[in-house]
Amino acid sequence: MTTAAMTIVPATPADHDEIVDILAASYAEYQNTFEPSERWEAYVKDIRESVDNPHLTELWIARIDEQIVGTVQLFETAHKAYPNFELPIDYPFIRLLGVAPDWRGHGIARKLLQRCVESTKEMGKTAVYLYTGGQMLNAIRLYERFGFVEDTEFSSVSSGGNAICYRYDIGE
């Protein structure tokens, strides 16, 4: 596998099916942590519908040799990212960062996160947020190494699991 030049570009509607496939493959490692299985099925349904979310501000893809190898979504606010929840976070919000399993370890996720940070700066905001599940240990390690810190005010534990809220503060 080569590590040819990677580009981060906005997705087009023609990319949506491939994005959904990458997200489903990327998150499949966590399937057995969703109990009952209906929770996993609902999560995958949300993933599949995410690319058509009318509140989506930016949908980025990482390409290597014209192949989509990763993706990330950025929303203007937490409420737009999660319209069914009362989240008073008036900052950009990252959702559904995914890298094709065969392409992990090449810095793709970091580049996608960096693109979200750059977009956040362009919006004139000083922080960007995201949620991850407590069972998603690889994601947690990635976010913490990148510089995200837990915002305990917005993290929660419920019967559905541990939702960890992370914040990345953007310096001048």
pLDDT at 3 exceeding the cut of 60: no
Identify the pLDDT of residue 172: 61
| Cβ neighbours of 22 (radius 10 Å) | 24
Mean pLDDT for the chain? 90
pTM of the model: 0.91
| Cβ neighbours of 151 (radius 10 Å) | 17
Q: Which two tokens stand for residue 64?
A: 């290597």
Q: What is the pLDDT of residues 13-56, one digit of tens each?
A: 999 999 999 999 998 888 887 777 788 888 888 888 889 999 99
What long-range pairs does 120-123 form, CB within 8 A, spacing at least 24? 120/74, 120/91, 120/92, 120/170, 121/170, 123/76, 123/92
Domains and CATH numbers, the chain: 6-125 (3.40.630.30)
Q: What is the pLDDT of residues 69-79, one digit of tens each?
A: 999 999 999 98
Identify the pLDDT of residue 134: 83
Q: If you average pLDDT over residues 145-164, what whole number do you get?
A: 83
Residue 131: strand pairing partners: 165
Identify the pLDDT of residue 158: 62
- CA distance readout (Å), 20 to 2, 14, 25, 44: 23, 12, 9, 9
Q: What is the pLDDT of residues 92-149, one digit of tens each?
A: 999 999 999 999 999 999 999 999 999 999 999 999 999 998 888 889 999 999 999 9
Contact (CB, 8 A) for 82 and 94: no
In DSSP notation, 104-143 reads: TTSSHHHHHHHHHHHHHHHTT-SEEEEEEETT-HHHHHHH
